[in-house]
Amino acid sequence: MIFFQGKKSRVIEYLFTIWVIFTLNFFLPRTMPGDPFLFISADEEGEEVAQFSEEQRNYYMAYYGLDRPLYSQYFSYFSDLSKGYLGYSLYYNQPVTIILLHRLPWTLCLVMTAVILSTVIGIVLGGFCAVYADRWEDRLLYFMLIAISEIPAFLVGLVLLFFFAAGMGLFPLSGAMTHFSGYDGFMEKTGDILHHAALPVIALTLTRISGIFLLTRSSIITVLTKTYIKTARAKGISGQRIFIKHIFRNAMLPIVTRVFLSLGSLVGGAILVENVFAYPGLGKLMRDAVMMHDYPLIQGIFLMVTISVLSANFIADLVYKKLDPRISDAAAADGH
Amino acid sequence: MMMPGKYLTFINRFSKTGQTGLIIVGIVFFMAIFAPLISVHSHKLSSGPPLSSPNGEHILGTDELGVDLWAQICFGSRISLVIGMGTALLAGSCGGLIGVLAAYSGGMTDRILMRIIDIITVLPDLPVMIVLAAFFGPGLINIIIVLSLFSWVATARIVRSQVLQLKEQLYIKSAETYGAGTWYLMKRHFLPEIFPLVAVSMIRLTGKAIVAEAGLSFLGLGDPASGSWGLIIHHATSFTGIYYTNFWKWWLIAPWIALTLMVSSLAFISRDFERFADPRMDRRKNRYQKQ
């Protein structure tokens, strides 16, 4: 970490990582054993009927540009990417970019709501426990949150689904909206969407709270021991002001980074949770694409998800520096 | 550090949750080793009416093909343990080696390795695992390799920072001036110091790998022949009409409880281990203070 310092090198590092991902995405299907034409022609998995004649094969090779040398394919891959063209989905018969843009809002909704809810609840509970540290309220909450946090989100989702949706019928079983329902107004539509999103969001939120909670609790406890808090008290500043201006501001720093840096694993959780609830976001799409052997689509989702997570990490770096000018790049990179 | 012959006091150092965790993991090991003995029925063949609820004959009921669920859970624990420990061993040893290599050789090697570690750290692991599993095909070995590809970085990072600290210690320096070779230093000084660290991170890795395998299997990307706990959940949730019947009350709950207990037990154990075997805990405290 010592040898890469300064804002510029951070940017270069991220650009390099993105380049690695693009390249990986380019080479992965090309290093696979087998031949794309076998897959296109076979109706079912495992059934390898090559119905292409030599001429047809050559025609399609030329059509898809696979007869050109590797470096030339590589360059046209990048020029396609720069135009936002991610390929053509074999199953949905649509450009990958369009499918992604259709599905993205649903995933974004889930992830953003879960991030906001878990952060707010985690901070509130963490602050509460820091103030009441080592009393029974603190111990109980601490144990409960730790225990829940160890259960992966999709298992929590399954329990919620079966108890509250299947068992009690309180929530819809799947999807993001009721099919074929004519909504009477905006409110009804919003209500329906919220009703569908509730359980997935709860599942994601429950598993995220404890991270934020532990961090808030420990950093507030640490800040409370600082002498500047004593000084502030001695100066006669009101408790509320101390909490907001001194304790909260200082305790926030690690929390902000944590929120952004945990997005990667949250996305992983969201992919699984979407599949639990058959929620029509990117995660569900990714599984469907894998099941249909729709490689361009898989790669498109992969690129979109990884690049978004990387951007979030990059923003975390920037925000962190804004909030705390003392922190060097090295510490920001090491902060998770 | 752990001394031989002091196991009892060692176990006493665990918290209540850690001790519970040890017991549960012990039970799972027992189930895995003696699976053919403790399950009466076959875990692959039908042995009763399909979808029967728990009864005297089938203590956890049967699935849609009439296969005994208790037998499936017992044999599934083998898969979880193989995946978990396989990944932990592979990723832990590779991570340890790479960490030592990076710290010890320094310079360009260190720089390149750290760059790779940084890249893998920021990549969201599940999407990449899905892509890799989709391209390489399902299979236990493939799953272990794919999981390891992502898991070694944490170990490597921890080991590297520990070796870097050790390298500056006076006793190492003096050993060097007395002419101790790289291998001697490794064996005599570095390995004993980093072994507890690697062991702790291996427990973490085991839990993570079991969860990841369950996730992949749940998505239908695991080894379809493995019969892991995640796969039972996958079969249960893909059963048409599972939501409208009571079948989930045994078919889904059994693997769910097995997975949850196993994963949380491992987490509690590693939490305790971290508490008394990881010198970085102090450093972490300092870091919060800095921030």
Of the residues B131, B164, B281, B289, the best mutation for testing chain A's interface (the one with the most A CB atoms within 10 Å of its CB) is B131
Compute the average pLDDT of residues A233-250: 79
Of the candidates B211, B220, B252, which has its C-beta nearest A152's C-beta?
A: B211
% of chain B exceeding 90 in pLDDT: 9
Give the model's pLDDT for residue B34: 87
Compute the average pLDDT of residues A221-234: 82
* Per-residue confidence band for A149, with pLDDT thresholds at 50, 70 and 90: confident
Please state, in angstroms and rounded to a whole number, the distance separating the CA atoms of residues B207 and B197. Answer: 16
- Which chain B residues contact residue A275 at CB under 8 A? 218-219
* Per-residue confidence band for B88, with pLDDT thresholds at 50, 70 and 90: very high
* A324–B291 CB contact, under 8 Å: yes
Q: Does A162 touch chain B (CB under 8 A)?
A: yes
Is residue A38 scored above 70 in pLDDT? no
Q: To the nearest whole angstrom, how far is the Cα of A186 from the nearest Cα of chain B?
A: 30
Compute the average pLDDT of residues B199-215: 88
Q: Does A331 touch chain B (CB under 8 A)?
A: yes
Compute the average pLDDT of residues A257-279: 84
Nearest in space to B159 (alpha carbons), one of B207, B215, B115, B200:
B200
Nearest in space to B126 (alpha carbons), one of A81, A154, A124, A246:
A154
- Which chain A residues contact residue B127 at CB under 8 A? 267-268, 271, 286, 301-302, 305-306
Q: Does B111 touch chain A (CB under 8 A)?
A: yes
Compute the average pLDDT of residues B90-107: 88
Is residue A73 scored above 90 in pLDDT? no
Mean pLDDT of chain A: 78
Q: Which of A274-278, B47-51, B236-240 has the highest mean pLDDT?
A: A274-278
* B127–A286 CB contact, under 8 Å: yes
Nearest in space to A114 (alpha carbons), one of A17, A183, A211:
A211
Which of residues 206 through 265 in chain A touch B, CB cutoff 8 A? 218-219, 222, 250, 253-254, 263-265
Is residue A182 scored above 70 in pLDDT? no
Is residue A3 scored above 70 in pLDDT? no
* Per-residue confidence band for A1, with pLDDT thresholds at 50, 70 and 90: very low
Nearest in space to A197 (alpha carbons), one of A125, A278, A90, A293:
A278
Q: What is the DSSP letter of B53?
A: P
Burial of B152 (0-12, 13-18, 19+ CB in 10 A): buried
Mean pLDDT of chain B: 81
Nearest in space to B124 (alpha carbons), one of A286, A119, A331:
A286
Of the candidates B127, B264, B285, which has its C-beta nearest A267's C-beta?
A: B127
Nearest in space to B163 (alpha carbons), one of B145, B139, B190, B188:
B190
* Per-residue confidence band for A72, with pLDDT thresholds at 50, 70 and 90: confident
* B124–A309 CB contact, under 8 Å: yes
Q: To the nearest whole angstrom, how far is the Cα of B202 from the nearest Cα of chain A?
A: 16
Between B235 and A245, residue with greater pLDDT: B235
Q: Which of A92-101, A190-199, A223-232 has the highest mean pLDDT?
A: A92-101
Q: Tens digits of per-residue pLDDT, B156-191?
A: 988 888 888 888 888 888 888 888 777 888 888 888
Q: Does A311 touch chain B (CB under 8 A)?
A: no
Out of B83-92, B127-136, B168-177, B279-288, least confident range? B279-288
Q: Express the helix, strand and coil content of chain A in percent, nearest 5 each.
A: 75, 0, 25
* B248–A166 CB contact, under 8 Å: yes
Give the model's pLDDT for residue A31: 66
Between A259 and B278, residue with greater pLDDT: A259
Which position has the token pair 């110091």? B193
Between B251 and A116, residue with greater pLDDT: A116
* A265–B125 CB contact, under 8 Å: yes
Is residue B238 scored above 70 in pLDDT? yes
* Per-residue confidence band for B91, with pLDDT thresholds at 50, 70 and 90: very high
Give the model's pLDDT for residue A143: 83
Q: Does B229 touch chain A (CB under 8 A)?
A: no
Please state, in angstroms and rounded to a whole number, the distance separating the CA atoms of residues B1 and A66. Answer: 59
* A150–B264 CB contact, under 8 Å: yes
Q: Does A150 touch chain B (CB under 8 A)?
A: yes
Give the model's pLDDT for residue A235: 85
CB B69 within 8 A of CB B50: no
Q: A89 CB contacts (<8 Å, ≥6 apart)? A: A95, A96, A99, A289, A294, A296, A297, A300
Q: To the nearest whole angstrom, how far is the Cα of A201 from the nearest Cα of chain B?
A: 18
Is residue A172 scored above 80 in pLDDT? no
CB B291 within 8 A of CB A254: yes
Helix (H, G, I), strand (E, B) or coil at B68: strand
CB A42 within 8 A of CB A48: yes
Out of A167-176, B25-34, B180-189, least confident range? A167-176
Nearest in space to B147 (alpha carbons), one of B105, B96, B104, B208:
B208
Structural class in CATH, domain B59-290: mainly alpha
Q: Does A170 touch chain B (CB under 8 A)?
A: no
* A301–B135 CB contact, under 8 Å: no
Q: To the nearest whole angstrom, how far is the Cα of B167 from the nearest Cα of chain A?
A: 17
Of the residues A272, A315, A320, the best mutation for testing chain B's interface (the one with the most B CB atoms within 10 Å of its CB) is A272
Q: In terms of residues, how long is chain A?
A: 336
Of the candidates B124, B220, B260, which has its C-beta nearest A305's C-beta?
A: B124
Give the model's pLDDT for residue B95: 92
**Domains, chain A, ranges and CATH?**
13-82 (no CATH), 96-335 (1.10.3720.10)
Domain ranges within chain B, ordered by starting residue:
59-290
* B290–A29 CB contact, under 8 Å: no
Please state, in angstroms and rounded to a whole number, the distance separating the CA atoms of residues A284 and B109. Answer: 40
H helix intervals, A132-185 = 136-149, 153-160
Compute the average pLDDT of residues A311-316: 82
Q: A174 CB contacts (<8 Å, ≥6 apart)? A: A277, A278, A279
Q: To the nearest whole angstrom, how far is the Cα of A155 from the nearest Cα of chain B?
A: 7
Predicted model pTM:
0.81
Residue in chain B closest to A173 (alpha carbons) equals B243
Compute the average pLDDT of residues B69-74: 86
- How far, in Å, are A209, A303, A322 from residue A260 at the CA level? 14, 19, 14
Out of B63-72, B87-96, B230-239, least confident range? B63-72
- How far, in Å, are A6, A250, B66 from residue A10 at the CA level? 7, 24, 58
Give the model's pLDDT for residue A181: 65
Give the model's pLDDT for residue B123: 78
Of the residues B109, B114, B130, B161, the best mutation for testing chain A's interface (the one with the most A CB atoms within 10 Å of its CB) is B130
Give the model's pLDDT for residue A32: 61
Is residue A286 scored above 90 in pLDDT? no
Quote ipTM for the complex: 0.79
Is residue B90 scored above 90 in pLDDT? yes
